Amino acid sequence: MLGYVGRILRVDLTHATVSEESLDWDVARDFVGGAGYATRIIHDEVPGHTDPLGVANKLIFMTGPLTATSFPTTTRYEVCTKSPLTNMWLASSSAGWWARDFKLAGYDGLIVEGRADTPVYLWINDGKTEIRAASALWGLDSDQTQEAIRAELGTEVKVCCIGQAGEKLVPLACVMNDEQRAAGRGGAGAVMGSKNLKAIAVRGTGRVSVADEGSLKEVNKAFREACRHHPLVPQMTKYGTAILLEHGWATGDTPNKNWAKGEWREGCEALNGRRMAETILRPHPACQGCFVRCARWIKIDEGPFTMEGPGPEYETLAAFGTMLMNDNLEAVCWANNLCNRHGVDTISTGSAIAFAMEAYEKGVISREDAGCELTWGNVDAILEMTEQICLARGLGALLGKGVRAASEALGQGTEDYAVHVKGMEVPFHDPRAFTSMVPVYATGTRGACHMHGTALAFELGAPLPDTGSPVGDVDRFSSVGKAVLAKIAQDRASIVDSLTMCMPPAEALSYSDYARALQAVTGEEWNAERVARTGERITNLQRVYSMKCGVTGDDDRLPRRLLEGVPDGSHAGRSADVPYMLAEYYRERGWDAQGKPTEAKLRELGLLKVVGEF
Amino acid sequence: MLGYVGRILRVDLTHATVSEESLDWDVARDFVGGAGYATRIIHDEVPGHTDPLGVANKLIFMTGPLTATSFPTTTRYEVCTKSPLTNMWLASSSAGWWARDFKLAGYDGLIVEGRADTPVYLWINDGKTEIRAASALWGLDSDQTQEAIRAELGTEVKVCCIGQAGEKLVPLACVMNDEQRAAGRGGAGAVMGSKNLKAIAVRGTGRVSVADEGSLKEVNKAFREACRHHPLVPQMTKYGTAILLEHGWATGDTPNKNWAKGEWREGCEALNGRRMAETILRPHPACQGCFVRCARWIKIDEGPFTMEGPGPEYETLAAFGTMLMNDNLEAVCWANNLCNRHGVDTISTGSAIAFAMEAYEKGVISREDAGCELTWGNVDAILEMTEQICLARGLGALLGKGVRAASEALGQGTEDYAVHVKGMEVPFHDPRAFTSMVPVYATGTRGACHMHGTALAFELGAPLPDTGSPVGDVDRFSSVGKAVLAKIAQDRASIVDSLTMCMPPAEALSYSDYARALQAVTGEEWNAERVARTGERITNLQRVYSMKCGVTGDDDRLPRRLLEGVPDGSHAGRSADVPYMLAEYYRERGWDAQGKPTEAKLRELGLLKVVGEF
């Protein structure tokens, strides 16, 4: 098959050895690449009982068959591991430039195993790999690390790395690359830190062969055209994902005050993408090869937050804005920069601070505990607590373990407002306003996740990938009929993460389009049905792996806070019938009543032998 | 061509004669039917200088080639005339049952001319037409008129008629039919009254032949499927058009307090379709042959507004709700019933009351003038003023002439808040929130109209009829690039009104779908390009006729109120660059800088000979 390099790099840090192996073509056929292929490696090589921060865990970096071709939005890598935050399956993804150069250096993927005695970094230079000392880099933030490596190896070198948070094994730590792009969720940065691996520098000048360039060009054209007509993507070019805040307060999509308040218009108006575009936004190039250009670049010319650099996304604006009742856009930009440089996930970090603010308000956390007045909207306290989390200091050392661990440690009823699923903090799309997100969050294979199932987009008029048309008649508050939307959204995410494409642009395409792209690149025969089936296969293997880690259907639940109606907003008083929705979802999935994939379903997906007994 | 009956009925009330003539097949080919065909008749037979309420004006009732076939939402008639409200071209349209029975009685259309000495009604019974005395019906409301005629002719008879307002020549009077369906805007009911024509009763048992039933069935199926996937249509089944209020306040689409206030959430929440469905809505059959079932049936069991009957649409809820700062849903239902029984347009009536309330607040209208305390939200005053307008009493006699005439009579700066274009009160989609409505309103061929150009739907993600896809990148506040949306929306309205289909369902289909339906029914060759060209031809002839009535490009303007930004709402402070937008629109249209269709454009559309010199 074309499109692939055909080789995987394996680095054993314990023994300081580097080896190459052939891509497993059967796995590539069934799991494509990216998160799909990496899931097979994790499933096969990392037993369920493995300690995520122990020497036996592995870290898989994978590109996809479309990466480094002319197909847009595929300059992404997936990093897959057993998560120290959720203690189960994890893949996180990041765009930018690194993935292309890594692949063109000669590899589809990289398996990192073992642990170095002292800090090291990898230098993968067009097929030659060195394990180099990184003691001089230890303690640097992600921007500084890149600068230092480029000063050594050349300005054209691309770097992914961890900041101080990953070094300190903070379970909210990310892998960072390029201009503050982050593989953000679930703590892959802490796993990297646990291996004493500071960075991976790459230089690649190879090329990827494609089966049918003409046909690929046609799909590319259709992709641009489909994006032009998508309800959201064109807005992202102008306003970034932050445009979602413009009316997110009116639908109830955007949560406020640790999910206790239904709407906060003033906040959304002060923080949204249109406001950003009208004030601090500056022109800037896109990620490699991308026509969407959703990433923001901002410049603040005066005041306490004077800075220039990458700007916040929707999720970050909600995390450090509405969730904390903070309407200071410049302060959110500053917090975003702090998180990115230290390398922590903005969603979970903002959520942990929101949780702490509520605990402070309720008297569970004192001023001495916090080291500051942890009151809603207090910018100084927000930035102080962010630094504490980034550097695992004081109360931040606890909060950086995530709200599940923090509420377990604090007790005193704090679990009532610890908003996570399976340890993963819930991203900022309220399932009380769009109930398709209830099964998405409750069953998400890496915990509550908006990337692994943007079902609410269907409720807002985006096309379904199987039919290519919007779903039509949907009551956004009803508990009935949402299972199928959740399943389609999750399985699509599985295939998109294996192609390593970007959401939401990938939402503009149908399964037939994915098939056309795959066929043009690989020369293999693909069709919509095979794409759908492949997505379902990958989702099911992720589920199986997490169950092997100890997850059961009992863990498929929403946090108590999301079962209570909010007092205000257009969704005031609404909440979903979660048991009904879960039962409907399990049926739709062909899973048993305890949420376990049945033997029949595994056989149907060709997973029976892969999975074995579990 | 199949689909058509092939005959037009002509009734001369002055001479009490009835005649039949053949449909002009060339006109049918170029103008289809409905409003398109009727525009040709008005243009050819009613000179521009005609007094709308004089004996020389004519009233054309037209069905379309799809009416009474199996193609859904085509049980509509268009009534076309020179408007007594705007003094230019007018067509108004209504659904229900009447249109089907009229066509199956043996006619595509009806031309009413002259004036009877005493009240009469028409009885068109399967090809036989009688002019019958209606003195006993004079003074009855529209419901009573139907009951009385059915008691005489049989319960299966379908009736269109005027209420007391049409009899009294109120320029806001409608033609009513069936269950309070209204050909509402522009005063066709007053023209009917001026002819002493109270009603038209029909019985039709014929059938319409179709060229290719199998192909038509396929298009029907595609229609249902397209509606199922449309962003709005499925919601209309559950909640009616009133669902638009749910977030209309958040986007700024719904005006408040005579367009002076940007948003009023409490009002929209108390009045919207979800609230109606949860309280007073009762199940009820749809219009003939329609799967959408958008019409509402309500039952109020107690209190001052106890009633059962047809419920209000979005426009009526805005007219008697938000525009008047009245959040009493039951009172709006009562006002709706008053308007429908007396036969006046709810949009213009509510607008006239809103105008009067502002004049009252500013001291231009006194308590003595009004006969009541005309304060915002005063339900008693709203109902009192509605009755005055319906019966042309007191201040209502002036208001019933529309806000243009009222502000001209009152002076004292009232033109600053008389919100109309060319005498037509502006419907309730704020062009400051969706600027594509600026050129739609400014140039609309019957004045400010949301049916003759739902361009804002494109800004909200609905598909364009030529491409079948949403338009994509649109900044709803920008003044640039909206002309093409306005033109497409207007030309689509022209073709839809000529096919006599319902908006918004027709918005779910593309021009190719219209072409497939027309070809299946008529056997003529149709394609998307011919559909688009036909719509443009019809719009241009409407424009030409109004220019022959004295309209010029100087009349293409927005009222002063809509040039001022609102103080609140998501569109606060926004207003469009109207001169720029008009220039862009004229260019897009191929009209000259004064807004006159050029000779080249008329030639291109095959209108040069039709129009002659003007």
| CATH number of domain containing B184 | 3.60.9.10
Identify the band that residue B473 occupies on the pLDDT scale cut at 50, 70 and 90: confident
Average pLDDT over residues B218-233: 90
Mean pLDDT in residue range B193-207: 97
Nearest CA-CA distance, residue B17 and chain A, Å = 51
| Interface list for B 444-483 with A (CB within 8 A) | 461, 467, 469-475
Q: Is residue A94 part of a domain?
A: yes
pLDDT in tens, A392-442: 999 999 999 999 999 999 999 999 999 999 999 999 999 999 999 999 999
pLDDT in tens, A222-239: 999 999 888 889 899 999
Taking an 8 Å cut-off on Cβ atoms, the answer to whether A229 and B570 are in contact is: no
Q: Can you give the pLDDT at residue B155?
A: 95
**From the CB of residue A130, how many other CB atoms can be counted at a distance below 10 Å?**
12
Residues A238 and A189 in one domain: no
Within this chain, do residues A442 and A359 fall inside the same structural domain, yes or no? no
Assess whether B449 and B598 both reside in one domain.
Answer: yes
> Which residues in chain B are closer than 8 Å to A293, comparing Cβ atoms?
none
The tokens of B133 are what?
A: 């005395």
Residue A473 confidence (pLDDT) above 80: no
Return the percentage of chain B with pLDDT > 90, whole number: 94
Inform me whether the pLDDT recorded for A11 exceeds 80.
Answer: yes
Cross-chain CB nearest to A247 (options B250, B269, B469): B250
Range of the domain at A240: 233-418
Point out the domain boundary residue: B162, B181, B203. Answer: B203
pLDDT at A472 over 80: no
Query: Considering its fold, how many domains does chain B have in total?
Result: 3
Query: Is B2 a member of any domain?
Result: no
The letter for the amino acid at B13 is L
Average pLDDT across chain B, whole number: 96
B423-447 per-position pLDDT tens digit:
999 999 999 999 999 999 999 999 9
Would you say residue B215 lies in a domain?
no
CA distance B408 to chain A (A): 40
> Does A555 score more than 90 pLDDT?
yes
| Token pair for A68 | 């480094």
Same domain, B297 and B348: yes
Residue contact B228–A269, C-beta within 8 A: no
Confirm if A196 and A13 have CB atoms less than 8 A apart. Answer: yes
Does residue B298 have a pLDDT over 90? yes
ipTM (interface predicted TM): 0.71
Q: How far apart are CA A415 and CA A312, in angstroms?
A: 29
pLDDT, tens digit (0-9, with 9 covering 90-100), for A122-132: 999 999 999 99
Q: Which residue of A247, A461, A475 is in closest CB contact with B461?
A: A461
**Residue B219 counted as domain residue:** no
Q: How far apart are CA A542 and CA A286, in angstroms?
A: 32
CA atoms of B232 and B255, how far apart (whole Å): 20
* Three-state secondary-structure class, residue A12: strand
Question: What is the structure's pLDDT at A327?
Answer: 98
**pLDDT range class, residue B395, cuts 50, 70, 90:** very high
Closest residue of chain B to A475, computed from CA coordinates = B235
pLDDT in tens, A279-315: 999 998 889 989 999 999 999 999 999 999 999 999 9
Strand locations in A184-293 (E): 197-203
Q: Do B537 and B495 form a contact (C-beta atoms < 8 A)?
A: no
Least confident residue range of A136-140, B54-58, B228-232, B580-584? B228-232
**Mean pLDDT on A199-226:** 96
Same domain, A385 and A479: no
Give a yes or no: residue A564 inside a domain.
no
pLDDT of residue A457: 92
For the range A393-400, what are the long-range contacts, defined as Cβ-Cβ under 8 Å and sequence gap of 24 or more?
A: A394/A369, A394/A370, A395/A356, A395/A365, A395/A369, A395/A370, A395/A371, A399/A352, A399/A353, A399/A355, A399/A356, A400/A165, A400/A170, A400/A171, A400/A172, A400/A344, A400/A349, A400/A352
Could you tell me if B376 and B482 lie in one domain?
no
Mean pLDDT across the stretch A34-46? 98
Contacts of B247 in chain A (CB under 8 A): 247, 250-251, 570
B556-567 pLDDT tens trace = 999 999 999 999
Residue found by looking up tokens 């991308």 in the block: A290
Distances (CA, A) of B110 to B33, B54, B107, B129: 12, 19, 7, 11
Closest residue on chain A to B225 (Cα): A472
Q: With contact defined as beta carbons under 8 Å apart, do B383 and B334 qualify? A: yes
> Per the domain annotation, does A494 fall within a domain?
yes
The CATH number of the domain where A254 resides is what? Answer: 1.10.569.10
| Rama region for A224: left / alpha / beta (φ>0; ψ in -120 to 50; rest) | alpha
Do A441 and A411 fall into the same domain? no
Collect all residues with Cβ–Cβ distance below 8 Å to A566 and sequence separation of at least 6. A252, A259, A260, A261, A262, A263, A430, A432, A572, A573
Per-residue model confidence (pLDDT) at position A468: 83
Same domain as B454, residue B394: no
Query: A246 CB near a chain B CB, below 8 Å?
Result: yes
CA distance B99 to B61: 9
Q: In CATH, what number is assigned to the domain containing residue A481?
A: 1.10.599.10
pLDDT value for A178 = 97
pLDDT band at B289 (very low <50, low <70, confident <90, very high): confident
Q: Using an 8 Å Cβ cutoff, are B172 and B83 in contact?
A: no
Tell me which residue in B234, B251, B472 faces A472 most closely, judged by beta carbons: B234
Q: What is the pLDDT of residue A232?
A: 87
Domain boundary, last residue among B357, B385, B418:
B418
Residues B410 and B448 in one domain: no
pLDDT bracket for residue A343 (50, 70, 90): very high
Q: Do A247 and B570 touch (CB under 8 A)?
A: yes
Q: Token pair of B585, please?
A: 């629109």
User: In Å, how far is B226's CA from the nearest CA of chain A?
Assistant: 9
pLDDT for residue B231: 81
pLDDT of the residue at A179: 95
Q: Tens digits of per-residue pLDDT, B325-372?
A: 999 999 999 999 999 999 999 999 999 999 999 999 999 999 999 999
Say if residue A389 is in the same domain as residue A351.
yes
Q: Which of B234, B247, B472 sits opposite A230 (nearest CB)?
A: B472
Predicted confidence (pLDDT) at residue B73 exceeds the cutoff of 90: yes
Instruction: Tell me the mean pLDDT in the region B282-309.
Output: 94
Of all residues in chain A, the percent with pLDDT exceeding 90 is 94
Pairing of strands B59-62, B109-113: antiparallel
SS3 label, residue A32: coil
pLDDT of B471 strictly over 90: no
Same-domain check for residues A364 and A499: no
C-beta atoms surrounding A83 within 10 Å = 28
The arithmetic mean of pLDDT across residues B144-153, rounded, is: 97
Domain membership of residue A432 (yes or no) is no
Residues B177 and B266 in one domain: no
A70 touches chain B (CB under 8 A): no
Residue of A nearest to B230 (CA): A472
DSSP string, B337-389: HHHHHHTB-HHHHHHHHHHHHHHHHTTSS-HHHHTS---TT-HHHHHHHHHHH
pLDDT of B232 > 90? The answer is: no
Does some domain include residue A430?
no
pLDDT of A323 > 90? The answer is yes
